[in-house]
């Protein structure tokens, strides 16, 4: 019979205890070493024992089994079963684990202080239970985008044209030289596909990075008694996570403690009804669900791929590469240009064939090409090949691929730069739409203000309190109870001498710090003396929170309320005066308190009131059974004024928006006096603006207007106070109906409808809930209104850069189309060959797009009114600029085509080279003109755009190479210095033409209003 020897790990801990921070391969080597060491040690011990005993053992073991597994810290919990318990909401099986408390013990978690949270503890938990991450579907490869580019109709037409050109070229000129045109088209197609694929591949990678950043939410956990904010990916099994309204549940787990917790499980179950979570009937929480109401703490039992959401996420492919409205409009424009070009190419083909067969064309010797039956069939075929090749040349450059590319480059560049300016774009279309915004509806707290609150005033009765020692002791205790028990915040102090840390919302932290530091409140001692019966959590509609509690000493039930001062005041029938006596609150006294509240609000203070009521014995059982808090006949304990200073530079940011024709409206939950004071301080409201009372309204008043009154007054409103989320949504809807392009900022869960309804939803990255972020288009990472103004500037920059490129691109297209058409019809030849046209198309499309797409926003952008929804993409100003330049280029190049040889005294081959060279250099000089659509000084700020200067330099160098060194390929002749000077001189004239043309006024009515691109 085999002897199985179990070697206790604790005996040789120094050998077997592998540090938790080791990687898996290193741990395997460690175990292997330990196994060999232990087996040798045991073998040695056996040999020694056998030598001492005279008799041999009756049976020699055939093998020795060594239990050398490291000590398992969580050996008494079967994680797979626990995961299933939570997933299936199995209460019976949970009780077998010992309930939530039993699971917490098994996971080595203190329900109050959390896990230890040191590096080894975290590493051990991640090794045993896994990490809170999900494997994403593999990203699209580079070859995927290459194949997508090949599916483009433009590319297919071009490839067909290249095949025809290659065949015709070889037929006419032989293989040695006949491949140039067709081969060059294939090279150009390869380059276009490469540029397109690289651009889309890089954009796809950029979106993947953005997705990782946007999914990296912050959650609050308690570790070793200290509350931390950590990444959702750092949450481990055993963590105690804090939940509040709007938060996303970070992992699957069990409810530990909290009040009125309701969860939206629609993302998992599809059911829209909120599910109540509590200790007794439903303690189960699922990953990625949202907290709809209340607050609490949860114990994490499974993370990552062990959760239902993790398994769902791994098979969901998030395709962020959507087509924006501007890209859609440009695709239509591109298609329209392509159709015009195809029509012109067909017309050239028909006219050329007719001219040939009617005897209106001549060969190189001046003889008539077609003489009826005398002309050889081979000559006719060669002539047809030449005519078709000319038409194919026009088809080759029929569709300007640079337009969609310009949008892609502009959006990718602006998104990257906006990230540096504290704005993370979630939806590409928002980049463009923000440039058209006509009004911004903004929150106050945290966006216009710093969200660094501090209690600066306290009123007890009708008198301000300067020193807490003057407060009557019973009243002081009531204030401390109201603060300590009616809060979602917490206090942490590592040691008795260390600094106190306050956690919670900014308002909660301000009140807690005031109560602890000035009123000497001991939060833990107060909590031990009371048991909480019911809590009504704060939300933006009620604007108050309350708690029902029982005092352990005498079993008496008390209710405490805290919230917006005028709302709490309306619930009170008495108040404590400075001496601690209870006084009746009649109409006169009530008016006095309202004046005190208004006075604090006028000083830009947020006014919070505290009220209390001891429940009479006859009502206690009813009140306890109903779990309903008393809301009337309360006693007012006191009023506090909280100061939240405005952000630095806010007034200038608001003025910049107003100067740019964008109205800024403040929508806040504060009372009308605080709202007016803050709005005046930051420049939203002028001191004399609210004379007739229409610029500042309360949410309830706005809500009660008739639809006609709302539509009439909404444009005049600058501040909405005491507003609910529904009021914000109503205002957005009204403004949109009036034709405004509306941007809305929001941070709360209840802001989601307004963020969805708005043209551009802007959520806050710091204070914003996950629900608000998911409903938004852009996340403002620093919660600062100045960043909102920067997003507005970038939005205009995107639109402006694309307009610049369209003007530049269309100038090239109009000129090439006209020159080749006139020359083909009149002379049956095109001055610009397929290779040359493709070269122009390539450098102008790709390099031009890159140069103009990377222009940074300027102050000039904020000096113009917003671009309307229905304004044409090609404005009258653009038509004026591009037609002037195109007509100049057409006139010059046609003059060179028909009279160049006699004017300049050069050969035909040199003349064709001069036409090609001049045409390219005209585009180079015109690239400077395209930088400014309206301003005459096109060189202002040029030194800041290093990309443009570099591309201009590269273009000129490549052009020199094409003309001087690639003669056969490009069908050119070398030019002397004088001829280069002529080309540069003719091209440079485009600068003064651009300067003069910009002095010509244009009509407001769209030039092509009947064409909708």
Catalytic residue numbers? 443
Say whether 257 sits in a helix, a strand or coil. Answer: strand
Q: Is 82 exposed, middle or buried (0-12, 13-18, 19+ CB in 10 A)?
A: buried
Tokens (6 digits) for 441? 């509806």
What φ, ψ does residue 253 adopt, rounded to 5°? Answer: -175, -165
3-state secondary structure 661-716: CCEEEEECCCCHHHHHHHHHHHCCCCCCCCCCCCCEEEHHHHHHCCHHHHHHHCCC
Q: How far is residue 805 CA from its own chain's centroid?
A: 26
How many Å apart are CA 355 and CA 386, to the nearest integer? 13
How many Å apart are CA 610 and CA 460, to the nearest integer? 10
Integer angstrom CA distances of residue 678 from 60, 447, 458, 718: 91, 12, 20, 12
**Nearest in space to 684 (alpha carbons), one of 460, 488, 906, 448:** 448
Say whether 222 sits in a helix, a strand or coil. Answer: strand
Tokens (6 digits) for 450? 């710093």
Tokens (6 digits) for 721? 């106070």
Q: Where are the alpha helices (DSSP H) in 397-503?
A: 402-420, 429-434, 473-485
How many Å apart are CA 735 and CA 715, to the nearest integer? 7
What φ, ψ does residue 536 adopt, rounded to 5°? Answer: -110, 110
Give every CB contact of residue 457 below 8 A, 6+ residues apart in sequence. 464, 600, 605, 639, 640, 641
Q: Is 474 exposed, middle or buried (0-12, 13-18, 19+ CB in 10 A)?
A: exposed
Say whether 779 sits in a helix, a strand or coil. Answer: strand
**Number of continuous H segments (helices) and E segments (strands) in the chain:** 36, 26
Question: What DSSP letter does each residue of 803-846 carry, written as one string?
Answer: HHHHHHHHHHHHHHHHHHHHHHHHHSS-SS-HHHHHHHHHIIII
- Judge contact between 287 and 312, C-beta under 8 A: no
| Residue matched to tokens 């080279």 | 913
For 960, other C-beta atoms within 10 Å of its C-beta total: 13
How many Å apart are CA 350 and CA 518, to the nearest integer? 94
For 905, which DSSP code?
T
| Residue matched to tokens 């919302």 | 505
Q: Is 240 exposed, middle or buried (0-12, 13-18, 19+ CB in 10 A)?
A: buried
For 855, which DSSP code?
P
- Judge contact between 191 and 146, C-beta under 8 A: no
Each as own residue / partner, the long-range contacts of residues 857-863 (CB below 8 Å, 24 or more positions apart, any chain) are 857/793, 857/794, 857/796, 857/797, 858/797, 858/941, 860/935, 861/660, 861/793, 861/796, 861/797, 861/800, 862/656, 862/659, 862/660, 862/792, 862/793, 862/796, 863/659, 863/660
The residues pairing with 557 across neighbouring beta strands, listed in sequence order, are 550
Integer angstrom CA distances of residue 181 from 103, 177, 909, 969: 76, 9, 17, 8
């Amino acid at each position: 019979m085999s002897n199985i020897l179990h070697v206790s790990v604790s005996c040789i801990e120094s050998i077997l205890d592998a540090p938790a921070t080791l990687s898996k391969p290193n741990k395997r080597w460690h175990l292997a070493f330990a196994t060999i060491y232990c087996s040798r040690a045991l073998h040695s011990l056996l040999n020694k024992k056998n030598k001492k005993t005279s008799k041999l053992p009756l049976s020699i073991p055939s093998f020795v089994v060594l239990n050398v597994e490291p000590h398992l810290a969580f050996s008494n919990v079967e994680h797979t079963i626990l995961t299933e318990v939570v997933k299936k909401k199995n209460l019976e099986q949970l009780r077998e684990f010992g309930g939530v408390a039993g699971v917490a013990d098994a996971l080595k978690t203190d329900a109050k202080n959390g896990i230890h949270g040191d590096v080894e503890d975290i590493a051990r938990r991640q090794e045993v239970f896994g990490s809170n991450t999900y494997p994403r579907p593999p990203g699209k490869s580079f070859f995927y985008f290459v194949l997508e580019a090949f599916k483009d109709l433009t590319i297919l037409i071009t490839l067909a044209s290249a095949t025809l050109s290659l065949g015709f070229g070889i037929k006419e000129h032989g293989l040695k030289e006949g491949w140039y045109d067709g081969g060059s088209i294939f090279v150009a197609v390869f380059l276009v596909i490469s540029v397109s694929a690289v651009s889309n591949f890089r954009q796809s990678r950029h979106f993947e990075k953005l997705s990782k950043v946007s999914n990296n939410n912050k959650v609050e956990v308690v570790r070793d008694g200290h509350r931390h904010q950590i990444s959702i990916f750092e949450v481990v099994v055993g963590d105690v996570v804090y939940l509040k309204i709007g938060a996303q549940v970070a992992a699957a787990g069990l409810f530990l403690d909290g009040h009125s917790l309701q969860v939206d499980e629609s993302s998992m179950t599809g059911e829209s009804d909120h599910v109540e979570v509590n200790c007794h009937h439903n303690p189960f929480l699922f990953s990625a669900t949202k907290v709809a109401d209340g607050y609490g703490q949860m114990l994490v039992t499974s993370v990552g791929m062990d959760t239902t959401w993790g398994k769902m996420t791994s098979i969901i492919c998030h395709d962020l590469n959507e087509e924006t409205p501007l890209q859609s409009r440009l695709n239509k424009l591109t298609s329209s240009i392509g159709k015009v070009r195809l029509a012109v190419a067909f017309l050239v083909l028909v006219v050329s064939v007719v001219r040939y067969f009617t005897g209106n064309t001549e060969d190189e010797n001046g003889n008539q090409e077609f003489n009826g039956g005398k002309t050889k069939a081979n000559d006719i075929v060669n002539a047809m090949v030449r005519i078709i090749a000319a038409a194919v040349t026009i088809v080759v450059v029929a569709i300007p691929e640079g337009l969609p590319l310009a949008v892609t480059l502009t959006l990718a560049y602006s998104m990257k730069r906006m990230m540096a300016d504290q704005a993370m774009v979630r939806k590409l279309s928002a980049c463009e739409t923000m440039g058209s915004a006509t009004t911004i509806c903004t929150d106050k707290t945290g966006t216009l203000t710093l969200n660094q609150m501090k209690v600066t005033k306290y009123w007890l009765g009708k008198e301000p309190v300067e020193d807490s020692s003057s407060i009557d002791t019973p009243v002081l205790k009531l204030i401390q109870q109201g603060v300590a028990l009616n809060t979602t915040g917490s206090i942490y102090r590592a040691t008795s001498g260390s600094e106190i840390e306050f956690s919670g919302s900014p308002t909660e932290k301000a009140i807690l710090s005031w109560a602890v530091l000035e009123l000497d409140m001991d939060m833990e001692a107060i909590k031990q003396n009371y048991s909480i019966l019911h809590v009504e959590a704060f939300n933006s509609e009620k604007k108050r929170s309350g708690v029902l509690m029982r005092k352990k000493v005498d079993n008496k039930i008390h209710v405490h309320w805290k919230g917006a001062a005028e709302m709490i005041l309306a619930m009170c029938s008495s108040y404590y005066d400075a001496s601690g006596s209870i006084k009746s609150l009649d109409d006169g006294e009530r008016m006095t308190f309202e004046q005190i509240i208004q006075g604090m609000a006028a000083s830009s203070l947020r006014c919070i009131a505290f009220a209390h009521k001891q429940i009479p014995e006859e009502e206690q059982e009813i009140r306890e059974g109903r779990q309903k808090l008393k809301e009337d006949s309360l006693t007012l304990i006191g009023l506090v004024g909280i100061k939240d200073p405005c952000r630095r530079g806010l007034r200038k940011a608001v003025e910049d928006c107003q100067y740019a024709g964008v109205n800024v409206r403040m929508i806040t939950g504060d009372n009308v006096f605080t709202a007016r004071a803050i709005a005046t301080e930051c420049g939203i409201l002028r001191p004399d603006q609210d004379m007739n009372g229409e610029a500042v309204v309360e949410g309830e008043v706005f809500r009660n207007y008739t639809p006609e009154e709302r539509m009439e007054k909404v444009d005049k409103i600058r501040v909405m106070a005491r507003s609910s989320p529904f009021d914000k949504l109503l205002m957005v809807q009204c403004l949109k109906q009036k034709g405004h392009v509306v941007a809305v900022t929001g941070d709360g869960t209840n802001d989601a409808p307004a963020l969805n309804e708005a043209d551009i939803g802007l959520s806050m990255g710091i204070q914003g809930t996950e629900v608000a972020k998911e409903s938004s288009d852009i996340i403002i990472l620093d919660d600062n209104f100045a960043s909102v103004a920067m997003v507005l500037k970038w939005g205009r920059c995107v639109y402006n850069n694309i307009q610049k490129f369209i003007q530049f691109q269309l100038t090239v297209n109009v000129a090439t189309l006209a020159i080749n058409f006139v020359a083909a019809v009149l002379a049956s030849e095109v001055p610009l060959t397929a290779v040359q046209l493709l070269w122009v198309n390539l450098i102008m499309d790709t390099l031009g797009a890159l140069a103009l797409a990377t222009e940074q926003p300027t102050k000039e952008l904020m000096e113009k009114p917003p671009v309307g929804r229905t304004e044409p993409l090609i404005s009258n100003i653009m038509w004026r600029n591009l037609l002037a330049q195109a007509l100049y280029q057409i006139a010059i190049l046609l003059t060179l085509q028909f009279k160049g040889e006699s004017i300049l005294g050069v050969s035909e081959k040199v003349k064709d080279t001069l036409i090609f060279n001049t045409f390219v250099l005209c585009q180079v000089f015109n690239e400077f003109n395209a930088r400014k659509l309206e301003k005459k000084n096109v060189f202002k700020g040029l030194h800041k755009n290093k990309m443009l200067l570099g591309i201009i330099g590269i273009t000129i160098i490549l052009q020199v190479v094409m003309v001087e060194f690639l003669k056969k390929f490009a069908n050119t002749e070398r030019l002397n210095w004088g001829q280069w000077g002529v080309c540069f001189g003719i091209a440079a004239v485009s600068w003064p033409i651009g300067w003069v043309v910009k002095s010509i006024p244009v009509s407001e009515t769209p030039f092509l209003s009947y064409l909708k691109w």
